[in-house]
Amino acid sequence: MDTFNYSDERFADIQMLRYRLNGFDQLQPRQRRLIYYLSEATLSGRDITFDQFGRYNITIRKTLEAIFKYRCNTQTDNPEFQALTEYLKCLWFASGIHHHYSQDKFTPHFSAAYLKAEILALPPSSLPLAEGQTPEALFCEIEPVVFDPEVMNKRVNLADGDDLLRTSACNYYQDISQAEAEAYYNARKEADSSNPEPLSHGLNSTLRRDAKGQLTEDVWHVGGKYSAAIERIVYWLEKAIHEAEEPTKEVIRLLIQYYTTGNLADFNAYCKAWVADNDSTVDFINGFIETYGDPLGLKGSWEGLVEYVDEAGTRRTRLISDNAQWFEDHSPVDVRFKKKEARGVSARVICAAQLGGDEYPATAIGINLPNADWIRAQHGSKSITIANITDAYKRAAHGNGFWEEFAVDEPTLQLIRTYDDSCDDLHTDLHECLGHGSGQLLPGVDPDALKNYASTIEEARADLFALYYIADHRLVELGLLPDDEAYKAQYYTYMANGLMTQLVRISEGKQIEEAHMRNRALIARWCCRHSEALRLIKRDGKTFTQITDYEALRQAVARLLAEVQRIKSEGDYEAARRLVEDYAVAIDADLHHEVLERYKLLNLSPYKGFINPWLKPLRDAQGDIVDVEADYSETYTAQMLRYSHDYATL
């Protein structure tokens, strides 16, 4: 019997989980030491993410942490202190004052008067005071940011027609309009248009005005912005080099060079080397990577992930990637948009050893990188499915009553019970291994042509590819599915999620904002409108998703995949805008209310996050690290306070 404690505390709309390092003890001591050093580099970038997500986040976090530590033994019964504690836990979780999914600013349930009184009661030395600043001035600085619902109310605003920069609170642009930023980066792309290895312009910089009012970039590198944090990252990466073997040594050297110079050509060199390193047991992601947090889709949020290979699971993904050309050739998209050669699709199942930055505490279950289209086309990409994270999710979900409430009938519920776990893993593999790596841009198409709709369209493209092929008999022939009925479980849960059940993650009266949620809504709603095989029905006062013809639904998926690939390949911004705005944003208020009421009765948390194992070094008599052990006993609050102390850099 598995006695590992996967679940931890719940607060607000979040449940914290633990993930286990399966097979960690079977690694070589040198590999465990490498994981430790890479993990320290992963945790050292934490403050960067907080600052990127909002200019006041670190100040507010440090202030609330000071109050919490000062009062946690004396005010536990005080409702205001309890409300402040929950707010702080949410802030930790989201790396800032905006919800990690909805992007809306948190509403504090403690008063401004209470916050002011507590700040003034603290020893000034415990507060994050700027030079010459008084505690009262600190309160005046953060009070409107915390309490005024009109101030910095959205971290990332994607609303059609708004100036997306002036209405977003993310800290990538300083008093710059959307039009100015787009013109600035379009000029740089134009100047770089003949470069066979184009740069990811804007990826690692803050755009601001200089003293003369001209636009300029503060590049994130050693000696530049975020230098203190990046220097600590580099320190631990240099330690890691001594435990790594080639080609990982060279990958780390190139990453250090990029962090040192901030030169995006060095980032390209690092990405190419990283993609080519396919066989190392220990691997990592570290840097300014995903652009979902920038409304223009240019600037990378800092993230870290340390991983080691799951050999048993990787046999499944290798089988998929070995057949990548077959899948590309048989895709239902226009032949102009297909790759003639599906290059270098490297797919592995891994165990996460440490999560950091934008991958912590909430993390993806699958990742495909690099993001640059030209690298994917010429050098391929790496795709991972994170086995121990998906395992923790599954164990938390089993027996929670969710599908008993939302499945349309008993036969459908039995399909889900029989096949859902294996189908979920396979859908993630197909999405990451093949979907993101499939297709090609037409010559001359700007990779950023879809602007604020790019993330939703790209996620829809990968999901549609996975949905189309999970229903293909080829997967049964390859032994990836047991029979031709299994895919129906994935079709049902996916469409029900897109049409209904993901609404449990959205507050009543709000629209869909997050790119992955928009993607799922787009697919399910488009299929519902364009195919009679999918519909919503009412029974006994409740709404259910019903699929009447699975093969017909697959054909609808094929038609939408063909259109989404065309939009991506041609850079058709207007078509992307129409598709997203028509299908992926608005919510039916009555359906939303019903779903929330039904979900409330289940007493579940719609969001999950993870507590990292504490990797503790074991030292010899001389103080040298000889091995590493994993400790799973740390609580969420203890971990967050430890991280704020041990990895404070900004």
Q: What whole-number distance in Å separates Cα of residue 450 and Cα of residue 182?
A: 12
Structural tokens at position 246: 């080639």
Is the pTM for the entire model greater than 0.85?
Answer: yes
**Amino acid 397: pLDDT:** 85
Residue 247's CB: how many other CB atoms inside 10 A? 15
Among residues 51, 23, 121, the alpha carbon closest in space to that of 650 is found at 51
Q: What whole-number distance in Å separates Cα of residue 227 and Cα of residue 230?
A: 5
**Amino acid 129: pLDDT:** 98
| pLDDT means over runs of 10, the chain (650 residues) | 79 96 97 98 98 98 98 92 98 97 95 98 97 97 98 95 97 97 96 95 98 97 98 98 97 98 98 95 98 96 97 87 93 95 80 98 93 92 93 88 96 95 89 90 94 95 97 96 96 98 94 94 98 97 98 98 98 98 97 97 95 98 97 97 98
Q: How far apart are the first and last CA of the chain?
A: 45
**Amino acid 1: pLDDT:** 52
CA distances from 98 to 16, 52, 162 (A): 18, 12, 19
**Amino acid 3: pLDDT:** 73
**Amino acid 165: pLDDT:** 98
**Amino acid 318: pLDDT:** 87
Degrees to nearest 5, angle at CA 489 with 14 and 608: 10
Q: What whole-number distance in Å separates Cα of residue 603 and Cα of residue 345?
A: 41
**Amino acid 637: pLDDT:** 97
- Residue 288's SS3 state is strand
**Residue extents of the structural domains in the chain:** 55-169, 310-607
- Rg from Cα positions in the chain: 24
Structural tokens at position 290: 């995903």
Percent helix / strand / coil, the chain, rounded to 5 = 50, 15, 35
Residue 619's CB: how many other CB atoms inside 10 A? 11
Q: Is 211 exposed, middle or buried (0-12, 13-18, 19+ CB in 10 A)?
A: exposed
Among residues 101, 87, 99, 100, the alpha carbon closest in space to that of 142 is found at 87
Q: What whole-number distance in Å separates Cα of residue 320 and Cα of residue 324?
A: 6
Query: Tokens 């050999």 appear where?
Result: 311
The residue type at 99: H
577, 160 Cβ separation under 8 angstroms: yes
Q: What whole-number distance in Å separates Cα of residue 575 and Cα of residue 450?
A: 9
**Amino acid 345: pLDDT:** 67
